[in-house]
Amino acid sequence: MPTGYLVLILLVGAERLAELVVARRNLRWSLARGGVVSGRGHYPWMVVLHTGLLVACPLEVALAGRSFAPALGWPMLALVIAAQGLRWWCVATLGRRWNTQVVVIPGLPLVTGGPYRYLRHPNYVAVAVEGAALPLVHGAWVTAVAFTALNAALMAVRIRGEEAALTTASAPAAP
């Protein structure tokens, strides 16, 4: 197993743990303000999928003997880093309202600043890019294809549920 790739996977795993810390803190804040959690049925599958990505990447590299191809690996690493930047731009823009779960505080306006000025669901773009690029940094194409397909199915459910939940936020949009 290439040490550099394993370090990358561990760094992304540490980032995920940091997300969970922020999400738990934000969930307490949201619930104290009347926040409503929805979409709980798909959330465990999302956790399994994201955990599976971090396990499958090094596993495929080790078991299939995937080698690092610089022409693919370096651009994919750049995409992984860009996805992290977009993800944390979303977190910073939403502030205490950001969460890994779908939580809506009734009456608060929708956020339309930051990356939300350009995309309705920019965090999901970050997830999709990272989920395809992270395995491809070291040639784990089976993991990239599997994650992308499963994530697309999961995101169809998640976005539909999130859109339904956001209709409860009836206040006018904030800049």
Instruction: Report pLDDT digits (tens) over 57-94.
Output: 999 999 999 999 999 999 999 999 999 999 999 999 99
- Contact (Cβ atoms closer than 8 angstroms) between residue 64 and residue 135: no
Picking from 110, 119, 55, the residue whose alpha carbon sits closest to that of residue 89 is 119
Point out the least confidently predicted range of 35-39, 74-78, 89-93, 171-175. 171-175
Compute, in degrees rounded to 10, the torsion defined by CA atoms 174, 43, 154, 64.
Answer: 130
Give pLDDT, residue 172: 53
The residue among 168 and 21 whose pLDDT is bigger is 21
Give pLDDT, residue 81: 98
- Contact (Cβ atoms closer than 8 angstroms) between residue 35 and residue 94: no
Give pLDDT, residue 64: 97
Picking from 114, 82, 81, the residue whose alpha carbon sits closest to that of residue 95 is 114
pLDDT reading at 1 higher than 70:
no
Confidence of residue 171 (pLDDT cuts 50, 70, 90): very low
The structure's pTM equals 0.92
Percent of the chain residues past pLDDT 90, beyond the cut: 88
* Helix (H) or strand (E) segment spanning residue 102: strand 102-104
CA separation for the pair 14, 17 (Å, rounded): 5
Instruction: Report pLDDT digits (tens) over 106-117.
Output: 989 889 999 999
